[in-house]
Amino acid sequence: MAGNSFGTLFKLSTFGESHGEAIGGMIDGCPAGLLIDFDFVQHELDRRKPGQSNITTQRRESDRVKFLSGIFEGKTTGAPIGFTIENENQKPADYDHLKDTYRPNHADYTYEQKYGIRDYRGGGRSSARETACRVVGGAIAKLLLAHYHIQVQAYVSTVGHVILEKTYNSLDLSKTDDSIVRCPDAETADRMIGLIEATRKAGDTVGGIITCVINGCPAGLGEPVFDRLHADLGKAMLSINAVKGFEYGEGFRSVHLKGSEMNDRFVSKEDAVHTATNHSGGIQGGISNGEAIYFNVAFKPVATIMQKQHSLDKKGNDIILEGRGRHDPCVLPRAVPIVESMAALVIADHLLRHKTSRIN
Amino acid sequence: MAGNSFGTLFKLSTFGESHGEAIGGMIDGCPAGLLIDFDFVQHELDRRKPGQSNITTQRRESDRVKFLSGIFEGKTTGAPIGFTIENENQKPADYDHLKDTYRPNHADYTYEQKYGIRDYRGGGRSSARETACRVVGGAIAKLLLAHYHIQVQAYVSTVGHVILEKTYNSLDLSKTDDSIVRCPDAETADRMIGLIEATRKAGDTVGGIITCVINGCPAGLGEPVFDRLHADLGKAMLSINAVKGFEYGEGFRSVHLKGSEMNDRFVSKEDAVHTATNHSGGIQGGISNGEAIYFNVAFKPVATIMQKQHSLDKKGNDIILEGRGRHDPCVLPRAVPIVESMAALVIADHLLRHKTSRIN
Amino acid sequence: MAGNSFGTLFKLSTFGESHGEAIGGMIDGCPAGLLIDFDFVQHELDRRKPGQSNITTQRRESDRVKFLSGIFEGKTTGAPIGFTIENENQKPADYDHLKDTYRPNHADYTYEQKYGIRDYRGGGRSSARETACRVVGGAIAKLLLAHYHIQVQAYVSTVGHVILEKTYNSLDLSKTDDSIVRCPDAETADRMIGLIEATRKAGDTVGGIITCVINGCPAGLGEPVFDRLHADLGKAMLSINAVKGFEYGEGFRSVHLKGSEMNDRFVSKEDAVHTATNHSGGIQGGISNGEAIYFNVAFKPVATIMQKQHSLDKKGNDIILEGRGRHDPCVLPRAVPIVESMAALVIADHLLRHKTSRIN
Amino acid sequence: MAGNSFGTLFKLSTFGESHGEAIGGMIDGCPAGLLIDFDFVQHELDRRKPGQSNITTQRRESDRVKFLSGIFEGKTTGAPIGFTIENENQKPADYDHLKDTYRPNHADYTYEQKYGIRDYRGGGRSSARETACRVVGGAIAKLLLAHYHIQVQAYVSTVGHVILEKTYNSLDLSKTDDSIVRCPDAETADRMIGLIEATRKAGDTVGGIITCVINGCPAGLGEPVFDRLHADLGKAMLSINAVKGFEYGEGFRSVHLKGSEMNDRFVSKEDAVHTATNHSGGIQGGISNGEAIYFNVAFKPVATIMQKQHSLDKKGNDIILEGRGRHDPCVLPRAVPIVESMAALVIADHLLRHKTSRIN
């Protein structure tokens, strides 16, 4: 059972390699009657595309999405939404030297072990180019969520040792895209940019953390015992290239808290049940409780570095590799819309799943 | 779509509440011909059961699993393996006072918001009692993995501020069960036990981290792009009660590493490809690379504390709650077999999925 | 991927062999708040159980269902509904002589080819005893459908050469259970009973057709292109033991009709859209149109006959088999509740699936 | 949960409407290393395409498939195989008059009831144009089956009252495509063609039966209890436009047989177990037994006729419709590759599923 579909009721399937003719996919299960804002979808893609700023790869691709089905007179029809994005920047010959090489921390070796064959051109299916399709699916999901007044917003909260100390609820998230690094705090953003530039000059790469906040999510989403809301969010995030960790609410910090410190007291506000604090991260017992959902996603540094590295070729011979081409010194800024997209897909799916929870 | 099944080819489904007649489930997709060691299955359940030591709840349940189908003359037949575990310790009346109450950080409020109805007896479906069924499924999965010489071992690596500083590859994991806290380092184990006992005396609870190591896993398991091996491991862990975070390999620490520090150099050992270091955690590009897989799971402190807490009842009135009964001050020791079980289920599932990856 | 679950949102999973300790299963995805009429569920099981009349097997089993979870104070809670039915009539020794034998038209040979191992006691997993679990699931589904005023009714319309000439809409289906053969036309029922008795005396068996009618189904159920409503009904029926064919609406007769004869004219009745005729069988383009859904299910004669038959043993030696024990000369009367149950499961599933078809 | 995917391990997903920009889909789970014969795939599409003979619609579309991913240097890589087929013959304006009209026996009314919106251009998603994608998926599946020496062959066995009296095992199926009607018996084929031409001249349409035979299928495929091999074949066939019935082996004829007539005696041939007759149709207990699998699929006459018909518009007004444009008087000849494709998809899926049935 191959794993190129995500979701149960709102389901995204993707296909495509970085240097094939096109990447694409389909969204099955989007309710009929949703008005599609095509400019918004393209805008989301533009937030992910290479070449958008000095601190991302200088590779240029226009990443125009072409919708092929499922939309009629501007609205979804209930039929699957098929789409493609052409690969304009195909230079397969650039990769001939990698044909028999295992690059460190890339998927070269494992794909070959799994499939016995490998499309070595630009990472093939393992390339993060595939995530452009997730952004298309996520943009449609966001439009569905907007209909229910649910908002998904992510931002870069850590790059290497530069850490944004402010918490999600003390930030103005509308400012995230004001900075090319997508950190809503201007001063921290500047330091992050400085670090990324210095790292690039050193021919190295750097990781970081993206924090995501979901506001307006109603209580009741999540399907225990296995499909807890945060379990599906976690899987969604861990399926993104370079992600090494996920935590929600207090996350790993909760390890050091006592129960009396961790518990969120229920309080009544304007005749509604709320919690006075939100250590839980908006999810209790695997089900949303109506408070803000927030979580952190850890990204490792990019594997391709502009330094000499030892490695092996297929025959087991020691070789020296040196990165070339146009790569990101830090994927975090471009990963913000990917994190949002995967989160939106999960919430859209659970929103639909929840519709059958009760008889009335 | 309710979420009480886990896995695609090796699939566990569970049912049951903490105070109903029985809990149980079925395993569908276990290959035929597997010899079942019933003592081993029961031993695994005993590692999870309450009342096993001074630092766990003193509630007593024998937790005997009864297999109803799918096994003939000691071997699996390919038919689904149904099983039940009786609830012996049913005292529903103990919970009458919670009928209209929302306990902090429990699932009382969210279940009611989702379903409009709630089995308030002992947490109902949200109770961690359900995880006994996961241990049954996990034990069968472990037997399957043993057939392929794959070993899953977890241990407690952090309790509150007591942190085991040694890494997975410098520990003798056969000693994990020597200590009631299930930490393989005797000195650290003692300090953890001390902290748990002090916490209980204070009427409070404490969280921690469980580390899990999988040895012997062949290269090739994992199904990109969405069902990456670590994404399914992450979801499995996040579906366990009280888990707030998951990281594999260097995890959140990789955020602060440079690419040149994070990359694992490929080396040839005895004519096989290995990596000199294992920052990646045995998984690259979402597929196992043959090195040890290791990951951390963060547990929050138990919500039920023996202290007075403010909360709300259904009508929105402020109330004072005080924990009573027999609860764990720290779930970590009993959660070790649960973490192992969920990991074994994931690896068993991917082992079967991998069988169709190639035409030959 | 083993195939012991049915449905997507309203999902029944079953386990159990005819001579194990118990059979059972679980229903996952039943909406919360449904009142369970336990007497009705047991009554449905009684319609299927052996020994209920002179023309069925004289084997006696009480077939009492025990619900273990998912129901609280008489209502479903949204948690999975686990249940078991004990096997009281276990006489495994009765089957020792079949251990190495391949009975004609049974699953002995194919199960052994598939799994390499076979529980030969009473057919093991291939026994129609498993269908008792489907009746439990179907009864819950019927209760859900009743909430939406949808009614599923099946009856025996053919036994061997005895054919009920009246069509579904000219019969009083409330009379179906008046006859032990479950044909609502008294005169035809008598002839069917006569044929079954004569067949039994001859040591032989006979097949037949069950017709099923679903009234009150709203327009809109069905999920093209693959999960057309009739495709899921067809699969449901073909998954029942001994079924060899399925047709809906005019079915195989439509082959001989012209388009001008087959088409159902749309007409307006009481301001609602209806069709003047119903050759389509209540489904058009794979989606229910609000008219009565009706279909036929063909059952082959039971394989076990009370006559000498040549066959092979495991070693390929020719042997002579003679049926013994207590078997049905015709399964049709007892299969009526099974057909209804599978139909109810399909409609319940699609009723839930339809809830997410539109944004509003 | 929308229904645009088919299969579990070998999975086809499709998208596209008859008058959108393109139709397409993806195949996920095809094992790596399969050599793709592109000419064969196109040849299969050509067998389905309109305008191929005098007795099909004279609409012309080239139906060229474009593969976008998953194939590298002529072989599958294990990555999903994405593909598109352009819609060249788009004349949306041709359908403006149908915007508010419910054509009899079309999906106009039911789609509108389900989704509240309808792409009325040429039937939108309900158009049989979608089946071109199934032929692409089926062609890939056939290539996989060929690797295992399994052959899927269908032919037209009935058109209206013209019935081919010979059974599947007395025909030379290599002659099927010799006739434009795809009946392997030349004399019967001529009569069928005559009937179709006469029917077209009368402005009417006619149905028929396609018989499909699968040779070389090994024993052991099928996943009881719900995913019996014939249940999945039945669903596959019933998901094809215009299909009203499915039967396998003796099918509906078995109703009139006695058990003693229906049973297939096991015999030993060349040291292998076979059956002397094949009334069962190659499947027993839901699992293939190694004999030829054969089944019949009933197609109703095409709904669009060149005669005046009464119908309703959206407002409930009586209207008169008259078919125009280029339609098939009989879909059977073009449906032969569709039936084969769906059968090949089912067998390929079960072939992969069977790989995990046993531990060794």
Residue B1 touches chain D, beta carbons under 8 Å: yes
CA B297, CA C184: separation in Å to the nearest integer?
62
For the ranges B131-135, B284-288, C60-64, C105-109, the lowest mean pLDDT is seen at C60-64
Q: Helix, strand, or coil here: D320?
A: strand
Token digits for D4? Answer: 């645009």
Contact residues, chain A, for C144 at CB < 8 Å: 359
List the structure tokens of D314.
């959206």
Using one digit for the tens of pLDDT, what is the confidence trace for A113-124?
999 999 988 889
Distance (Å, whole) CA A289 – CA A295:
15
Contact B287/A at CB under 8 A: yes
Q: What is the ipTM of this complex?
A: 0.97
Nearest CA in chain A to C144: A359
Q: What percent of chain A has pLDDT over 90?
A: 86
- CA of D22 vs chain A CAs: smallest distance (Å): 6
A178 phi/psi in degrees, rounded to 5: -65, -25
Written as one letter, the residue type at D75 is K
- Model confidence pLDDT, tens digit, residues C207-261: 999 999 999 999 999 999 999 999 999 999 999 999 999 999 999 999 999 999 9
Alpha helices in A212-331 (DSSP H): 229-238, 259-262
pLDDT category at B256 given cuts 50, 70, 90 is very high
pLDDT for position D1: 63
Would you place residue C288 in the very low, low, confident or very high pLDDT band (cuts 50, 70, 90)? very high
Instruction: Kindly state the DSSP code that residue B31 receives in the 8-state scheme.
Output: P
As given in the structure block, the two tokens for residue C286 are 């794979």
CA angle D50, D53, D58 (to 5 degrees): 50
* C-beta of residue A148 within 8 angstroms of C-beta of residue A351: yes
Instruction: Write the DSSP assignment of D255-279 as a string of letters.
Output: GGSBHHHH---EEEETTEEEESS-T
Residues 6+ apart with CB under 8 A from C91: C19
Nearest to A288 by CA among D247, B114, C188, B351: B114
Residues D291, D281: Cα–Cα separation, whole Å: 7
Residue A96's contacts (CB-CB under 8 Å, 6 or more residues apart) are: none
The residue ranking higher by pLDDT, A346 or C326, is: A346
- Whether B188 and B339 have beta carbons less than 8 Å apart is answered as no
pLDDT at D221: 98
First-to-last alpha carbon distance for chain D, in angstroms, is: 36
Residue C17's contacts (CB-CB under 8 Å, 6 or more residues apart) are: B69, B70, B72, B79, C23, C119, C121, C122, C123, C124, C125, C127, C129, C130
Going by pLDDT thresholds of 50, 70 and 90, the confidence category of residue C92 is low
Name the residue type at position C110.
T
A82 chain-D contacts, CB cut-off 8 A: 15-16, 22-25, 84
Q: Does A357 have pLDDT greater than 80? A: yes
Interface of C with A in 147-166 (CB under 8 A): 147
Say whether D110 and C273 touch across the interface (CB within 8 A).
no
User: Is C32–A1 a contact, with Cβ atoms under 8 angstroms apart?
Assistant: no
Calculate how close chain B gets to A156, using CA atoms only, in Å.
12
- Tens-place pLDDT, residues C43-65: 999 999 988 888 887 777 789 99
Burial of C353 (0-12, 13-18, 19+ CB in 10 A): buried
Answer whether B9 sits within 8 Å of D356, measured CB to CB: yes
- Cβ distance of C300 and D262 shorter than 8 Å: yes
Could you tell me how many residues make up chain B?
360
B326: pLDDT strictly greater than 90: no
Per DSSP, what are the bridge partners of residue A71?
A: A76
* B15 interface with A at CB cutoff 8 Å: no
Residue B280 contacts C where some CB pair is shorter than 8 Å: no
Q: How confident is the model at residue B330 (pLDDT cuts 50, 70, 90)?
A: very high
Cis peptide before B225 (omega within 30 of 0): yes
pLDDT tops 70 at residue B92: no
Q: For residues B267 and C292, give the distance between their C-alpha atoms in angstroms, rounded to a whole number.
A: 69
Within 10 angstroms of residue D323's Cβ, the number of other Cβ atoms is 17
CB D282 within 8 A of CB D291: yes
pLDDT value at position C199? 96
Q: What is the CA radius of gyration of chain A?
A: 21
Put simply, the answer to whether B2 touches C26 (Cβ < 8 Å) is no
Cis peptide bond prior to C225, omega within 30° of 0: yes
Look-up of token digits 């839980």: A280
d(CA B258, CA A301): 6
Is A69 within 8 Å of D15 when comparing Cβ atoms? yes
Q: Does B146 touch chain C (CB under 8 A)?
A: no
Distance CA B22, CA B61 (A): 12
Where do the H-state alpha helices sit in chain B? 38-48, 108-115, 131-147, 186-201, 229-238, 259-262, 332-354
The letter for the amino acid at D263 is N
From residue A153, alpha-carbon distances to A35, A210, B344, C54 in Å are 21, 10, 35, 69
Strand order in the sheet with A243-248: A162-163, A151-159, A208-215, A293-299, A243-248, B243-248, B293-299, B208-215, B151-159, B162-163
Instruction: Give the whole-angstrom CA distance, residue B341 versus residue B63.
Output: 16
**C28 phi and psi, to 5 degrees?**
-115, 135
Q: By three-state DSSP, how is residue C275 classified?
A: strand
The C-alpha of B120 sits at a distance from chain A's nearest C-alpha, in angstroms, of 13
The CA distance from C19 to B70, in Å, is 11
- Give the contacts of A187 (CB within 8 A, at least 6 positions apart): none
- pTM for the complete prediction? 0.98
Do residues D214 and D245 lie in contact, with contact meaning Cβ atoms separated by under 8 Å? Answer: no
Is B272 in the C-facing interface, judged by CB distances under 8 Å?
no
Does residue A270 belong to the interface with chain B, where contact is any CB pair within 8 Å?
A: no
Closest CA to C133 of C234, C230, C222, C23: C23
Contact of C337 with chain D, judged by CB distance below 8 Å, is answered with no
Q: Mean pLDDT per segment of 10 residues, for chain D of length 360 residues?
A: 93 95 97 98 96 81 94 97 90 77 94 94 91 98 98 98 97 97 98 97 97 98 98 98 98 96 94 95 98 98 92 92 82 98 98 95
In the block, residue with structure tokens 């006859």? C179
State how far the Cα of A127 lies from the Cα of A95, in Å rounded to an integer.
Answer: 13
Which pLDDT score is estimated for D92? 64
> Which domains occur in chain A, in start order?
5-354 (3.60.150.10)
The rounded distance, in Å, linking the Cα atoms of B320 and C297 is 62
User: How many whole angstroms separate alpha carbon A131 and alpha carbon A135?
Assistant: 6
One-character DSSP codes across A318-348 = EEEEE--S---S--HHHHHHHHHHHHHHHHH
Record: contact A84-D84, CB cut-off 8 A? yes
* CB-based burial, D225-249: b 16+ in 10 Å, e otherwise: bbbbbbbbbbbbbbbbbbbbbbbbb
List the end-to-end C-alpha distance of chain A, in Å, as a whole number.
36
Q: Is B24 at the interface with chain C, CB within 8 A? A: yes
In this structure, are residues D71 and D342 in contact, taking their beta carbons and an 8 Å threshold?
no
Which residues, at least 6 apart from A79, have a Cβ–Cβ distance to it below 8 Å?
Answer: A69, A70, D4, D15, D17, D119, D124, D125
> Does D130 sit within 8 Å of C287, measured CB to CB?
no
Residues D12 and B220: their CA atoms lie apart, in Å, by 24
The size of chain C, in residues, is: 360
D274 inside 8 A of chain C by CB = no
**What would the pLDDT profile of C132-188 be if each residue is shown by its tens digit?**
999 999 999 999 999 999 999 999 999 999 999 999 999 999 999 999 999 999 999
Question: What is the C-alpha separation between B283 and B220, in angstroms, rounded?
Answer: 9
Q: Can you tell me the distance from the alpha carbon of B341 to that of C72, in angstroms, rounded to the nearest whole number?
A: 29
**H helices of chain D, where?**
38-48, 108-115, 131-147, 186-201, 229-238, 259-262, 332-354
In whole angstroms, what is the distance from residue B37 CA to residue B142 CA?
11
CB C59 within 8 A of CB C51: yes
- What single-letter amino acid sits at D203? G
Ramachandran category for residue D329: left, alpha or beta (phi over 0 → left; psi -120 to 50 → alpha): alpha
Q: Is the pLDDT of residue C325 over 90?
A: no
Distance CA C112, CA C107 (A): 8
Residues of B in contact with D147 (CB under 8 A): 359
